[in-house]
Amino acid sequence: MKSIISAQAISKRYRVQRDRPDSLKEAVVRRRRNSSNSEFWALRNISIDIAPGSFYGLIGHNGSGKTTLLKLMAGIHQPTSGTMQVNGRVSALLELGSGFHPELSGRENIYLNGAILGLSRKEMDLAVDEIIEFSDIGEFIDAPVKILSSGMYVRLGFAVAVHVAPEILLIDEVIAVGDEAFQRKCLEHLYELRRGGTTIVLVSHSLPLVEGLCDEVGWLDHGQLMQAGDATEVCWAYLDAVNAEEAQKLRDGDDEQIHTDTSLTEIEVRRGSGELRIFHVDYLDKQWLANPLPSSGDTLIIRLWYESETSVEDPVFALKLHHATGVHLASPNSALQQLRTGSIGEGRGYVDFIIDELSLLPGDYLLSTSVTDRDRMHVHDAWERSHSLRIVPGSSTEREGLTDLKGKWQPPVPHQKGSPGHPNR
């Protein structure tokens, strides 16, 4: 089958000018000086082929070259060497509000983007109502887009990109800007486009999202293609490399909390008065030993390390667990069990939350922590989605979904007409 996107030995070089002159006079004075330009290779010798109708993911750390490769596919940039062939009409959403004219209204920008993609006025007349409805920005559709909030921007941009009959859709993480409801609507529409034969290329830092959506994945690192192929295989190889790097940093004595770009959210939200704070989270097994990769079906102990600047009376410790796709799974807290934590004195300590049998299935999750007063009105510390939790296969035999229901199947019972407890029809 002929590829709809084919990159062969693609390399991309940028020239970085240092000490750029601020005026024409300064430029003339400097013109005979040695050039202060340097070269930066964003991509080196990349070769990938994407089949028509497939869902392809690009993963890697910030600065690995993912967005550059996407811009080459979109035709925004040209490769320094190699060949890029794209055989289809491309709709791209590469950054917030890309392709919008700030002085034009949302409605006018819809028609402008359609014209850029080669669609006729009649074709856009048929699509405009659906685009406006999907974007859900109400009366702001006729206001200049420069006054729109970031959420409105991304909703309108995504609505335009996916409703202009694209043969190829390129997306660079921007759906993460929307709220949870909009993200779900976006994902549902992506499924529809995929079923309709649209080829989709997605750049994302959410490995579970990529693994769940994509057929194949390419892993980029410092402009080089490390691995390409089956989505699950490549995502796990990348995560293994990230984990190995973190472990090495810990062995080297780095006591600072290490943040990677593999988590669902790039921005951690923290609030509270701060006199009592959670500063670290440990995952332990039933022998109370460190277990950074808990197993489904086994015991998991979540240890919250706290630090108090003063005496705090009877605080409530709480957790909130999200699947990496954004689904809220649970919110246990110490008050629900009628636990009185007593007086927490100045200094450090820990509190444990024990899960005797972990029912969550293998996958990536995000943990939020918080400490409040007894009435849950005063927040000492609330740290949203601050810690990642990866669950690996264990004693649970379940493999699909989010949780093991712990149910038991019974052998089939032949139906006998007229027997108690059975339907008679």
**Tens of pLDDT, residues 58-89:** 999 888 999 899 999 988 889 999 999 999 88
Do 10 and 115 reside in the same domain of the chain? yes
Q: How far is CA 385 from CA 38, 112, 157, in A?
A: 39, 39, 27
Phi, psi of 26 (to 5 degrees): -65, -35
Q: Is the pLDDT of residue 96 over 60?
A: no
Give the residues across from 307 on adjacent strands.
277, 348
Same domain, yes or no: 226 and 336: no
For residue 50, what are its two tokens?
């994407």
Residues 219 and 292 in one domain: no
| Higher pLDDT pick, 15 / 329 | 329
Asked whether the predicted pLDDT for residue 425 surpasses 60, the reply is: no
The answer to whether residues 193 and 307 belong to one domain is no
**Given its phi and psi angles, is residue 288 left (phi above 0), alpha (psi -120 to 50 degrees) or beta?**
left
Mean residue pLDDT of the chain comes to 82
pLDDT digits (tens, 9 = 90+) for 27-65: 666 555 555 567 889 999 999 999 999 999 999 988 899
Q: Which residues face 316 on adjacent strands?
A: 372
Cα 254 to Cα 236: distance, rounded to the nearest angstrom: 25
53 plus 182 within the same structural domain: yes
Query: Cβ contacts of residue 411 below 8 Å, gap of 6+?
Result: none
Alpha-carbon distance of 245 to 287, in angstroms, equals 27
Residue 408 in domain: no
Specify the pairing of strand 55-59 against strand 81-86.
unpaired
287 and 228 in a common domain: no
**Computed from CA positions of residues 291, 294, 300, 305, in that sequence, does the dihedral angle turn out positive or negative?**
positive
Collect all residues with Cβ–Cβ distance below 8 Å to 251 and sequence separation of at least 6: none
In this prediction the pTM is 0.56
- Which segments within 331-425 are labelled E, that is strand? 343-344, 347-355, 363-372, 379-391
- Evaluate whether residue 414 is within a structural domain: no
The confidence score (pLDDT) of residue 73 equals 93
Task: Tell me: do 163 and 18 sit in the same domain.
Answer: yes
Task: Order the strands of the 5-17 sheet from edge to edge.
Answer: 37-50, 5-17, 81-86
Query: The tokens 């340097």 sit on which residue?
Result: 38
CA angle 167, 173, 175 (to 5 degrees): 85
Q: Are strands 316-323 and 328-330 parallel, antiparallel or unpaired?
A: antiparallel
Q: Are residues 110 and 198 in the same domain?
A: yes
Per-residue pLDDT tens over the stretch 259-291: 444 433 333 467 888 899 998 888 998 988 888
- 84 within some domain: yes
Domain termination site, one of 238, 260, 284 = 238
What is the pLDDT averaged over residues 403-412?
84
H helix runs in 196-311, sequence order: 207-213, 231-251
Same domain, 139 and 215: yes
Is there a domain that residue 217 lies in? yes
Q: Are residues 160 and 228 in the same domain?
A: yes
Per the domain annotation, does 284 fall within a domain?
Answer: yes
317 and 376 share one domain? yes
Position 55 in a domain = yes
> Is residue 265 domain-resident?
no
Domain, as residue range, for 163: 5-23+34-238
Query: CATH number of the domain that 286 lies in?
Result: 2.70.50.60
Instruction: Report yes or no: 295 and 394 within 8 Å, Cβ to Cβ.
Output: yes
Q: Which of 338-365 are b and which e, b meaning 16 or more Cβ less than 10 Å from the residue's Cβ?
A: eeebeebeeeeeebebeeeebbbbbbbb
CATH number of the domain at 41, please.
3.40.50.300
- Kindly state whether residue 421 falls inside one of the protein's structural domains: no
CA–CA dist 380, 372 (Å, integer): 5
Domain count, the chain: 2
* pLDDT confidence tier of residue 217, bands split at 50, 70 and 90: very high
- 228 and 274 co-located in one domain: no
- Alpha-carbon distance 387 to 384, whole Å? 9
Q: Which residues pair with 8 in a beta bridge?
A: 83
> Radius of gyration (Cα) for the chain, nearest Å?
26
Domain end point (choices 220, 238, 256): 238
Q: What DSSP line would sit under 299-311, residue for residue?
A: -EEEEEEEEESS-
Tokens 């995929």 correspond to 194
Residue 293 reports pLDDT greater than 60:
yes
**What gap in Å lies between CA 296 and CA 135, rounded to an integer?**
39
Sign for the pseudo-dihedral over CA of 412, 418, 422, 425? positive
